[in-house]
Amino acid sequence: MKLQPAAHIRGEVTVPGDKSISHRAVMFGAISDGRTEIQNFLEGADCLSTISCFRSMGIEIEKKQNQILVHGKGLRGLTAPSGILDCGNSGTTTRLISGILSPQPFTSTLTGDDSIKKRPMNRIIEPLTMMGADIKSLNGNGCAPLQICGRPLHGIHYHSKVASAQVKSAILLAGLYAEGETRVTEPKLSRNHTELMLKRFGADVRTEGTTAVIRPAGHLTGTNILVPGDISSAVYFVAAALILPNSEVLIKNVGINPTRAGLLTVCKNMGAQISLVNESHEGSEPTADLLVHSSNLKGTVIEGDLIPAMIDELPTVALMACFAEGTTVIRDAAELKVKESNRIAIMVENLSAMGADIVETEDGMIIHGGKPLHGAVIDSHKDHRIAMTFAVAALAAGGETEILDADCVSISYPRFYDELNRLTR
């Protein structure tokens, strides 16, 4: 994909449904009694992996344009998969499904693409094993493929070393089937979509600070889920509007759950002109339209509790920091190294190739803003968020930028380049 600089970005855009919430709606619908109707479902490759896994365990799932209908079969209604479950590029599918599969009365095997086969799974293997699960990494390297021989589970109180919603959710889902209460305490609060949505399906789940508590469920009941727009897809238009001159973008219906919306705090700290309009609270998740104008950004420090609330937006914020006055420090973000790619190393490599003043640290990056960027050849490493971040960088750089493996954006935002073109034309 070859991209040219753009003078500005202007107009209105509706980003696709939230990826985390779309996955969960299919999974929880599948193990509930009756129908679950999902509006504004994200038809990206990751969420389609979740659908195909549940189809191969006997769940009927219908697609109607932007709507998905899941015919749930209840907590004990899944059947042994017809083959190896392919989670594709999706960490959320792999880790959350493991929590559901551990207590089933059958054996299953999970695998995925080259990236998934390198991502750490001990973080779920350890707590699920403590609950009585029989789950192992078939290559013995703590990664997929995973084999799970279903067994009865018991509740535990798990103290997680990482703030990870995937780890927390895997344990809570296993806890639905376990004997007794299950508790997960995190070092910092991660996104709480599982807790909010499971409650909607009728589960007995509650939160005490950074601890989530679940009691086993007799059954869950199918419901209707309206998926808000994904703030992790909105961030590309936010960044483009902030760094390009004479820009104004209205991003409609974006999920602003506080455990996800650290981006808004950081933008404010950087002096960005963003306002929230049409705030609403349909369903369990708050939403708003984001109105963004070109801004004179200043450097900031991003650390601590903010990190899990914006983990997927950090690469794009690193780009914004290149256009800010002064220095931006991102720390406490070592988790970035174990995403779809090592997002610290790859942001530093690619932004450096474009002329940015950026250094890698143990757990983040330091960016000295103000050096103009120039076009370059960017290796996305097939990481959708890297490809989209550099498509935005290309708009604000001098000369042409080429992005390798640019089609990986289909993981979370299949129409991304069309929308970016439309707004910058």
Choose which of 20, 32, 328, 389 interacts with ligand S3P (CB under 6 A). Answer: 20
Q: Which of 191, 195, 193, 211 is nearest to 203 (CA)?
A: 195
In degrees and rounded to multiples of 5, residue 70 shows phi and psi of -105, 125
Contacts to ligand S3P from residues 192-251, by CB under 6 A: none
Task: Choose which of 285, 312, 313, 383 interacts with ligand S3P (CB under 6 A).
Answer: 312
Binding-residue pattern over the window 326 to 365 for ligand S3P, x denoting contact by CB under 6 A: ---------x------------------------------
Binding residue per annotation — 191? no
Given a contact cutoff of 8 angstroms between Cβ atoms, the answer to whether 238 and 267 are in contact is yes
By C-alpha distance, which of 303, 248, 307 is closest to 272? Answer: 248
- Whether 199 and 28 have beta carbons less than 8 Å apart is answered as no
**230, 289, 312, 379: which is the annotated catalytic residue?**
312
In the complex, what is the shortest distance from the CB of residue 385 to ligand S3P, in angstroms, rounded to a whole number?
8
| Among residues 165, 227, 367, 409, the one that binds ligand S3P under rule CB under 6 A | 165
Position 92 contacts ligand S3P (CB under 6 A) = yes
Question: Of 158-166, 284-292, 372-380, 398-406, which part binds ligand S3P (CB under 6 A)?
Answer: 158-166
* C-beta closer to ligand S3P: residue 257 or 295: 257
In one-letter notation, the amino acid at residue 147 is Q
Please select the residue that binds ligand S3P; options are 104, 166, 259, 401, rule is CB under 6 A: 166
| DSSP symbols for 301-369 | EE-GGGTGGGGGGHHHHHHHHHTSBSEEEE-S-GGGGGSSS-HHHHHHHHHHHTT-EEEEETTEEEEET
Active-site residue flag, 332: no
Helices (H), 81-230: 91-101, 122-130, 165-177, 193-200
Q: Which is nearer to ligand S3P, 289 or 313 (CB)?
A: 313
Closest to 211 measured CA to CA, from 163, 155, 177, 283: 163
Q: Residue 247 is encoded by which pair of tokens?
A: 């820009």
Q: Is 311 in the site for ligand S3P (CB under 6 A)?
A: yes
Site residues (CB under 6 A) for ligand S3P? 20, 92, 164-166, 169, 190-191, 311-312, 335
**Annotated binding residues for 3-phosphoshikimate:** 19-20, 24, 164, 166, 312, 339
